[in-house]
Amino acid sequence: MILSVPSYVVPGTYAENLRFLADKPEVEGVELLFYLWDAEVEDLLDRELAEIRSYSDRFRFTAHLPDRIRPEHRAVLDRIADTARSFVVHPPADLDGIEPFAYLLGHWRDEFGDRFFLENLRTAPFERARGSLPDIPLCVDVGHILAEGGDPSDRIVRLESEGCRIEEFHLHGLAEGRDHGPFGDQAPWLQDLAPRLAGFPGVVEIELFDWEQARSALAAVRKAADAAEPAKESR
C-alpha cells in the first residue's frame, strides 16, 4: 500500500504543506485537494504548480476533483494531469445529475485515460452512478460507510463480488457521530481491513486534515497491516 495524506494537514497552501511533509518518511503520497475550485484556488495553483511538480519524485500525487464536476473543471485537469496519477470524483446527489455527470466523465476518461475513481459519498447516489458507469474504478471511502452505519468489509466484499475494481481507499473514523475523525490501530473496522490493506498495491489515503491526527493514523494503519501480514502469508 502507498500511504497518503491530504494536501492540507497544517494551515497553509499546497506548497507550504508539501514543504512540511517532505521530511516525513511515513508519508508516501499526497492527495491534492480541489474540492472547492474558484478564482482564488486557480490563482494559487498557477503560482505554486512548478513547486508542486518539483515534489513528483518524493510523493505519489493523486487529486480530489471538485464536489460536483462541471465542464469548466477541465481547467484543473489541464494543469495537473501530468502530475497526479489519478483523480477522485463524487457522484451527483440528485437523480437528474447522473446523465450529465456520466457524459462529462466519459469524455474526460477518453482524453485523460482510466484514471478517474468514483468515490462513495452516500450509498444511493454512488449506486446510481455505478449503474451509469459500470466499468469505472472505485475509491472506497471507509469513513463514509461508517457514517451510514455500514460495515466496510462487507461492502468491499459485495463490490468485488460484482466485479468492481477498487483502486484506492480513504480511511477516517467517526468522532461524535461525524466522519473524518481520528482512529487507532485497534479500531474494529481497521482490524477487519488490515489483511486486505497489507497486500493492496494502491493508495491508502488517511483523510484527516490535522497533522497530529494524520501522523497517529498513519502509524496505526502501518501497525495493523504489518501485524496482519504474517497471518495472511500463513493461509
- Tell me how many degrees the CA angle 113-166-58 measures, rounded to the nearest 5: 65
Residue 94: predicted pLDDT: 86
Residue 160: predicted pLDDT: 95
Ordered by start, the domain boundaries in the chain are: 2-228
Residue 44: predicted pLDDT: 98
Amino acid identity of 211?
Answer: W
For residues 18 and 7, what is the distance between their CA atoms, to the nearest angstrom? 7
SS3 137: coil
Task: Enter the DSSP assignment of 12.
Answer: S
SS3 232: helix
Residue 93: predicted pLDDT: 87
Residues 6+ apart with CB under 8 A from 92: 68, 98, 101, 125, 129
The domain made up of 2-228 has a fold known as TIM Barrel (3.20.20)
SS3 34: coil
Q: pTM of the full predicted structure? A: 0.94
> Helices in 64-210 by DSSP H: which ranges?
74-80, 98-112, 123-132, 142-147, 152-161, 188-198
CA separation (Å) from 184 to 11, 170, 199, 227?
Answer: 24, 15, 20, 14
Task: Enter the DSSP assignment of 138.
Answer: E
Q: Which of 133, 65, 120, 49 is CA-nearest to residue 91?
A: 120
Kindly give the confidence (pLDDT) of every residue in the chain, 235 residues in length, as a single tens digit, with 9 standing for 90 and above.
999 999 999 999 999 999 999 999 999 999 999 999 999 999 999 999 999 999 999 999 999 999 999 999 999 999 999 999 999 999 998 878 889 999 999 999 999 999 999 999 888 899 999 999 999 999 999 999 999 999 999 999 999 999 999 999 999 998 877 889 999 999 999 999 999 999 999 999 999 999 999 999 999 999 999 999 765 555 5
